[in-house]
Amino acid sequence: MLDGMPTARARARAELTQEIKDLARKHLASEGAAGLSLRAVARDLGMVSSAVYRYFPSRDDLLTALIVDAYDAVGAAAEEAEAAVADRTDIGARWMAVTAAVRSWATAHPEEWALIYGSPVPGYRAPEDTIGPATRVPLVLLGLLADGHAAGVIEPAGDDLPVPRALGRELVELARGAGVVVPEPLLARGLLAWSALIGAVGFELFGHLHNVVSERDELFARHMAELARMVGFPVARRRSGRRR
């Protein structure tokens, strides 16, 4: 126990904890968060239901673990995609990369997306532990605003709408909390972009494009380009729009 090697018991514990979460994620897909059942998970795992309580003290704790994992997963996807853009001065490209990564994670894990960005689970109160992971995506976006502003590449909106006094103060305070300086109108536009991104992904995932638009990749890319223009991120013209 003194040396770094974890004991066999500890390893088994970590593995089973992971297996429980993985299986729970599967159940999430078929039953939804409200229908997530410790008993069903235990059954599929071949153990007796009470055994799961050695790993998660209650159903809500399991749910919390899934939520934290989901936020971390989409956050990591966004961070990696953003970091992979070679030309760091191309804020528009970084925005397109982040948004595409978020959407593609969501498409691959719709039930987890619904868990964090869908309707709240009734009776469930998210604990503090979820806050950190939840801020990863917005922090990436805030980074774009800050970098773009510092580099002076953000195109000013033709006629900036006024930001109400109290709202502006709140936004600036938020940015300061993250250690960056960004003017109020830009923060407001960035927040709209974030909300519109989540909205666009949810819109598609929750079925509102059903019988409306089938060219979803193209639609999403165009929407994101439009949002980039609204925020002031310079975006290269002529996106291909070929895929899928």
Partner DNA sequence: TGTACATCAGTGAACGCGCGTTCACTGATGTAC
Least separation in angstroms between residue 171's CB and a copy of itself is 7
Per partner kind, with CB cut-offs from 5 to 8 A, the member of DNA, a copy of itself, none near residue 86 is none
Per partner kind, with CB cut-offs from 5 to 8 A, the member of a copy of itself, DNA, none near residue 227 is a copy of itself
Q: Which of 55, 56, 71, 117 contacts a copy of itself by CB under 8 A?
A: 117
Sole window of 15-23, 89-97, 111-119, 143-151 interacting with a copy of itself (rule: CB under 8 A): 111-119
Instruction: List Cβ<8 Å contacts ≥24 apart for 150-156.
Output: 151/89, 151/91, 153/89, 153/91, 153/234, 154/91, 154/186, 154/231, 154/232, 154/233, 155/229, 155/232, 155/233, 155/234, 156/232
Restricting to residues 168-187, name those near a copy of itself by CB under 8 A: 170-171, 174
Task: Give the span between the Cα atoms of 3 and 1, in whole angstroms.
Answer: 6
Residue 145, judged by CB atoms within 10 A of its CB (0-12, 13-18, 19+), counts as buried
CA–CA distances in Å: residue 210 to residues 53, 117, 182, 207, 213: 41, 19, 38, 5, 7
Per partner kind, with CB cut-offs from 5 to 8 A, the member of DNA, a copy of itself, none near residue 36 is DNA
Nearest to 152 by CA among 193, 182, 192, 194: 182
> Does residue number 30 form part of the binding site for a copy of itself (CB under 8 A)?
yes
Task: Give the span between the Cα atoms of 177 and 180, in whole angstroms.
Answer: 8
> Does residue number 53 form part of the binding site for DNA (CB under 7 A)?
yes
Q: Which of 118, 143, 172, 180 contacts a copy of itself by CB under 8 A?
A: 118
CA–CA distances in Å: residue 205 to residues 25, 27, 30: 17, 18, 15
Sole window of 7-15, 97-105, 184-192, 216-224 interacting with DNA (rule: CB under 7 A): 7-15
Q: Which of 163, 175, 182, 186 contacts a copy of itself by CB under 8 A?
A: 163
Q: Which of 32, 51, 76, 143 contacts a copy of itself by CB under 8 A?
A: 32
> Does residue number 38 form part of the binding site for DNA (CB under 7 A)?
yes
- Longest CA span, the chain: 64
Binding site for a copy of itself (CB under 8 A): 30-35, 114, 117-123, 131, 157-159, 161-164, 166-167, 170-171, 174, 188-189, 191-192, 195-200, 202-203, 206-208, 211-215, 218-219, 222-223, 225-227, 229-230, 237-239, 241
